[in-house]
Structure 1
Amino acid sequence: MKRRLTMGVAAAAVGTLLAACGAGGPGSGGGKISGGKLTLGVLTDLSGVYADLAGNGAVAAVQMAADDYRKKYGDKAVTQKIDVIKADHQNKPEVANTQAREMYERKGADAIFDVPTSSAALAVETVAAQQKKLYFNTGAATTELAGKSCNAYTYEWAYDSYMLAHGTGTQVTQQGGKNWYLIYPDYAFGQDMQAKFTPAIEGAGGRVVAKDPTPFPSDNYSTFLLKAPTLNPKPDVLGALQAGGDLANVVKQYDQFKVKDKGVKLAIGLLFDSDIKAIGADKLAGTMFTTAWFWNLDDRSRAWAQRFQKITGKLPTFDQAADYSAATAYLEAVQKAGTDKAASVSKVLDGMPLDDFFARNATVRAADHRVVHDAYLAKVKAPSEATQDGDYTELVRTIPAAQAFDKPSPDCHLG
């Protein structure tokens, strides 16, 4: 009897120890991590107009974050088992809704990353709230993600239309571009961009003489480009608020129809290095734009970009850099929380200060889950100024985090 009691006490002690460590011992996840592993979903455009700025490069960035986390913590990691999965939302909100549900429900995703296309991003935000799972958006510009559509499970990591408008719209107007003609894609992203650029231009002393929605996606902008010089009053600036492949089509046709020669210069709302490559730096040389990050910003940025390039064969866009930043912050929060439970991870994230190669002087704002960080007013270099292939961007000035983003929206109620 005494021997059986002793063995029973010992077994109970071992059981208690395993429960405290997580069944399977350190690094296995066990009871701390649901299903014994973390699953990171990358929901992106793998085949359309945003595939170059996000796409498989976004998947690679999240995978890099997972690999770096495992190396950093080794056996002390809450779990070494991390799967990265991907899906193509085709820039359609209904497809994004379906794919997000598939990731969360059937594939066990703990968090979803990326999601360019604002309408798709808003669809995923709704699903995240319903599933009570985390979602880190890096690819969409709509301010609604941290505004009237905000929820406790969604984080807006990289940029938004306010940041873009109050950088480029204000600067170009102050430099003499007083009269604007805005063309914008007719879906959530473009509508929000137009809504933010108009007051930014007016606040800097300019005015919008006309604004037109354009089909999305589209390969023909001739109607709008030919219209620009005929408006009365004639605009000084054509504000092209498209992105990705659509923006490339706008700029190429702007050049084809010689709109600049008719006295209407070009301003661009959102520009990625992948766009500059597709369009040609010679056609964009001198163009001012606002960006969340660019790979040649400084030594920290270059070091990460060169790692990314070795893996993918391409230099990163700011969307892809933001995916790495968001995934890394998520994994660090899981490590600190000791669990993948969304509510526990959010408690770590909310109010967290950040200063990585992407997010400088940054804070995860607890009030609305917007990551506030330094932004950059930049311009496209002439090809003769480039120091190497892919060196397209020159820093004009840093926009401090406190100025780069709007204050929290009164429409945002995370609860």
Structure 2
Amino acid sequence: MTAIGTPIRRLLSAALLAGTASLAMTGGALAGADGAVKIGILNDRSGPYSDAAGQGSVVAAEMAVEDFGGKALGKPVEIVSADHQNKADIGSSTTNRWLDVEGVDAIFDVPNSGILLALQEIVREKDGILVSSGGGVSTFSGKACSPYGFQWTYDTYSVANALGRATVAQGGDNWYLIQVDYAFGEALANDLTKAITEAGGKIAGSVKHPLNTPDFSSYLLQAQGSGANTVALINAGGDTVNALKQAKEFGLAESGQKMVAMLFFNTDVLAIGADTLVGLNAINGYEASLNAETQAFGERFAKAHGTWPTSLQIGVYSAVNHYLKAVDAAGTDARDAVAAKMRELPVQDIFVKDGKVRADGLMIHDMLLTEVKPASEAKARGDVFKVVSAIPGDQAFRPLDQGGCPLVK
């Protein structure tokens, strides 16, 4: 039996080693074993964030791949996309399928911070890289940070810090907050409260509303009766559009209350009408009217999508471009090597000049304080903002040592 048992043990040992090697490959090589670098765009295609992200983010990713030459490591780059429907279970199941079955190497966009945080944990434990353009919860690159998670376009801290302080400086020192009731709203409300109080303002009160709310009348009436001189809409997309339309009907601005939309895009202005919003401030990382180069890109994007890109969509373009650069520079699509290169390489593209990815995964770049301009000044569909000032990234974003990210030494 000894003579027979020894070869069997050797075969079992060889099989075990082969299995171990196969498992190790899931850290990178297996994902690209089908001969392609696969990119997934996961976002809201049918709900309140579909205009700001949606199909436009897929178009942006396609343009990035086209501009990169269509290949990385000599392999074709493929794009898949899906609608998470603002449901964590759908977002999670899609991510699991992409990683486990379809060999997706990196996932981008993910507006809806609750889903984004759930995906951070899935990707951390499985494989792939996660790059957020649409999801902004600041804990993503803070206490919940991951070696494989990157936050690209904005976060709740930068928006709250820049717009909150600018508004207080203009006299808006007494605030009422109308916030969406999930992770994004909670994070932005906390970051905004901190920015306002540190700037010398105060919070008169707040109220929460469900995601995708059609009727804001009760919330607006509470804001109107609060005595606050500033009403902050801590929501985005369709919720912000509905709230602003109804605030106009209730006459909040006419009664002396300044409306502040904390996350506001050119698609939102188009949905309401620029002339009813003239002077409304917004913070974004990108503005297509900034110079001739950005305007040319906006026109090219509009030919494919019908309007100039939002900052979320151009953020997807930038993030996909940088990811592909990192893959080529690393010489592999193994995620540890690619994630290291993403932090090492400067970010240089149509969205960002001299951007830098920090140890916590947050990409640091200038943020722009903008305001809505009259429709008569628009050069193209989606040209609705003018830039008031640029806020340097190191002033807009949270200091590296204050986020609680375990990756920060």
TM-score normalised to the size of structure 1? Answer: 0.88
Amino acid at match of 1:293: Y
Amino acid at match of 1:294: E
| 1:393-408 matched pairs, under 5 angstroms | 393-408=385-400
Query: Which segments of 5 or more consecutive residues in structure 1 lack a partner in the other structure?
Result: 1-29
Identity of aligned residues (%): 36
What corresponds to 2:334 in structure 1? Answer: 341
Task: Identify the range of structure 1 (306-315 vs 195-204) with the bigger mean alpha-carbon deviation.
Answer: 306-315
Distance 2:353 2:77 in 1: 27
Question: Equivalent of 2:379, from 384, 387, 406?
Answer: 387
Distance 2:61 2:91 in 1: 19
Amino acid at match of 1:181: Y
Residues 272/32 of structure 1: CA separation in 2 closer, same or farther (3 Å cut): closer
What corresponds to 1:330 in structure 2? Answer: 323
Distance 1:123 1:51 in 2: 20
Would you say how many aligned residue pairs link Structure 1 and Structure 2? 380
What corresponds to 1:35 in structure 2? Answer: 34
| 1:314-325 matched pairs, under 5 angstroms | 314-325=307-318
Asked if 2 retains the 8 angstrom alpha-carbon contact of 1:33 and 1:339, the reply is no
Asked if 2 retains the 8 angstrom alpha-carbon contact of 1:361 and 1:401, the reply is no
Residues 33/48 of structure 1: CA separation in 2 closer, same or farther (3 Å cut): same
Distance 2:89 2:30 in 1: 35
Distance 1:192 1:230 in 2: 25
Asked if 2 retains the 8 angstrom alpha-carbon contact of 1:32 and 1:78, the reply is no
Amino acid at match of 2:46: S
What corresponds to 1:356 in structure 2? Answer: 349
Distance 1:130 1:260 in 2: 49
Distance 1:103 1:120 in 2: 15
Instruction: Say if 2:248 is the partner of 1:255.
Output: yes
Amino acid at match of 1:348: K
Task: Identify the range of structure 1 (53-62 vs 310-319) with the bigger mean alpha-carbon deviation.
Answer: 310-319
Specify the SS of the correspondent of 1:354. coil
**Aligned-pair CA distance for 1:39:** 0.7
Question: Equivalent of 1:125, from 114, 120, 124?
Answer: 120
TM-score normalised to the size of structure 2? Answer: 0.89
**Aligned-pair CA distance for 1:388:** 3.7
- The Cα offsets for residues 360-395 of structure 1, whole Å up to 9 and x where unpaired, read as 331011x20100001101101022333343321010
Asked if 1 retains the 8 angstrom alpha-carbon contact of 2:111 and 2:133, the reply is yes
What corresponds to 1:211 in structure 2? Answer: 206
Specify the SS of the correspondent of 1:84. strand
- The Cα offsets for residues 202-251 of structure 1, whole Å up to 9 and x where unpaired, read as 122111110111111201110111122222xx100111111000100000
- The Cα offsets for residues 45-102 of structure 1, whole Å up to 9 and x where unpaired, read as 111111111111111111111122226x7xxx51241210011101112211111111
Asked if 1 retains the 8 angstrom alpha-carbon contact of 2:31 and 2:104, the reply is no
Specify the SS of the correspondent of 2:117. helix
Residues 277/410 of structure 1: CA separation in 2 closer, same or farther (3 Å cut): closer
Query: Which segments of 5 or more consecutive residues in structure 2 lack a partner in the other structure?
Result: 1-28
- The Cα offsets for residues 229-278 of structure 1, whole Å up to 9 and x where unpaired, read as 222xx100111111000100000000111122222121110111111111
Distance 1:346 1:34 in 2: 19
What corresponds to 2:168 in structure 1? Answer: 173
What corresponds to 1:68 in structure 2? Answer: 67
Specify the SS of the correspondent of 2:260. strand
Distance 1:295 1:203 in 2: 32
| 1:14-413 matched pairs, under 5 angstroms | 33-70=32-69, 77-231=72-226, 234-365=227-358, 367-408=359-400, 409-413=402-406
Specify the SS of the correspondent of 1:398. strand
Distance 1:203 1:266 in 2: 20
- The Cα offsets for residues 24-55 of structure 1, whole Å up to 9 and x where unpaired, read as xxxxxx99943211110010111111111111
Distance 2:265 2:344 in 1: 29
**Aligned-pair CA distance for 1:132:** 2.5
Specify the SS of the correspondent of 2:254. helix
Residues 227/337 of structure 1: CA separation in 2 closer, same or farther (3 Å cut): same
Amino acid at match of 2:118: A
Distance 2:347 2:317 in 1: 13
Residues 274/46 of structure 1: CA separation in 2 closer, same or farther (3 Å cut): same
Distance 1:402 1:378 in 2: 19
Asked if 2 retains the 8 angstrom alpha-carbon contact of 1:38 and 1:79, the reply is no
Amino acid at match of 1:111: A
Specify the SS of the correspondent of 2:315. helix
Distance 1:293 1:32 in 2: 32
What corresponds to 1:23 in structure 2? Answer: none
Residues 33/100 of structure 1: CA separation in 2 closer, same or farther (3 Å cut): closer
